[in-house]
Structure 1
Amino acid sequence: MDKRLIEAVELFEDVMVHGTERVLKSVDSPVWQEYSREQLQLMKMISKNGAMPAGKLASLQGVHKSAVSSRIKKLEEKELIHIIKSSEDQRTKLIKLTEKGEKVLRQSDQAVYEYVEKLFSDQVTDEELNQFVVTFKKIREILKWEGV
C-alpha cells in the first residue's frame, strides 16, 4: 500500500479527533455552553440534508436510536426542532429544524468559523486553503458516491 495514503489517513484521523477536541474546548460562545456537541451536530445534519427520520440521524451520528431519541426530545423541548409526518408516508415521522433552531445553528457556525479563522490566519496561506478546499470537495464527493 502507498505509504502516502497511510500517512494521509493517519493525518486525517489526527485532525478529526484532536482538531475537533481543540475546537470544542476553545470556541467561546454561549451556544456552545447551552447545547451539547451532539445536539449541534444533529441540527447541522438536518440543516444540510433536510428533514429526516430519527433512524437516519442515529445512523449518521453512529449511535443507537435511543441516544438520538434523547437528543431529539431535548431539542424539541427547547423548540429547536419539530416532528412532522412525511408527505410520502404518514407513518413516518421526520425531524425538522425550526426557525429558532436555524438561528442557534447559525450562531454556532459563526463561533466556529471565527475561531478557526483566528487559528489559521497566520499559519495557512490562501493557496494552502484553496488546495484544502479542492481536496476535501473531492473526498466528499468520493464518500458520497460510496453511500457514506
Structure 2
Amino acid sequence: MKETLLEAIELFEEVMIYGTEHFIKSVQSPIWKEYSPEQIQTLKLLSAYDSLSNGKLAELQGVHKSAITARLKKLEEKGLIRTERAQHDQRAKVVRLTEEGQEILVASNTAINETITSLFSDEISEEELVQFVRTFRKLKDILQMREFNE
C-alpha cells in the first residue's frame, strides 16, 4: 500500500503542476484576464471560510504576509473584499468577500466548469467520474476531521 500511496501522491502533484499550467492557458474568460489565479484563490478561500485574517490567508496560500497584503489591497480597491473588525476580538481585523467579490467568484467558477467540461467530457467515463468523486469526498472528509481535531 505504501508504494501505491507514494505513486498516488506523485501523480496528484503532477496533475496539479501540469493541470494548472494547461488549465490557465485554456480558460477563455474575461475574469481570468482581469484577475490572477492567486486573486481568484483568495476569493475562493474567503467564500469557504466566511472571514479570515491576513495571517491565516497567507498560511493557507503558502506565501509571506507581504504578498497577501499586496493582493488584498488590489482586491479591496476593486471592491471585491472588505476589511472589518473581528467579532470575537475588536482589536483584530478580518477580511470578508463583498457581494461584488461573490459575483466575480460565480463568474470564475462558471468559466472553470465550462473549461473542465470541454477538456475532459470525452476523456473520462461516468464510472471513472463517480469513483473520482467518491475518493475526493473521502479525502475531504479526512482532511476536515483533522482540521476539526487540531
Which TM class, normalised by the smaller chain length?
Answer: over 0.9
Residue by residue over 1:79-107, the C-alpha shift from the partner in whole angstroms, topping out at 9 and shown as x without a partner, is 00001111111111110011100000111
1:4 aligns with 2:4: yes
Q: Matched residues in 1 for 2:62 and 2:78: separation?
A: 24
Q: Matched residues in 1 for 2:90 and 2:58: separation?
A: 21
Match of 2:73 in 1: 73
The one-letter amino acid paired with 1:4 is T
Match of 2:14 in 1: 14
Match of 1:101 in 2: 101
Aligned length: 148
The TM-score, its normalising length taken from structure 1, stands at 0.96
Match of 2:63 in 1: 63
Residue by residue over 1:94-126, the C-alpha shift from the partner in whole angstroms, topping out at 9 and shown as x without a partner, is 100111000001111110100001111111111
Q: Matched residues in 2 for 1:93 and 1:48: separation?
A: 18
Q: Matched residues in 1 for 2:36 and 2:92: separation?
A: 27
Q: Matched residues in 1 for 2:56 and 2:126: separation?
A: 37
| Stretches of structure 2 lacking an aligned partner (at least 5 in a row) | none
Q: Tell me the CA shift for residue 78 of structure 1.
A: 0.3
Q: Matched residues in 1 for 2:105 and 2:74: separation?
A: 15
Q: Matched residues in 1 for 2:2 and 2:86: separation?
A: 46
The one-letter amino acid paired with 1:26 is S
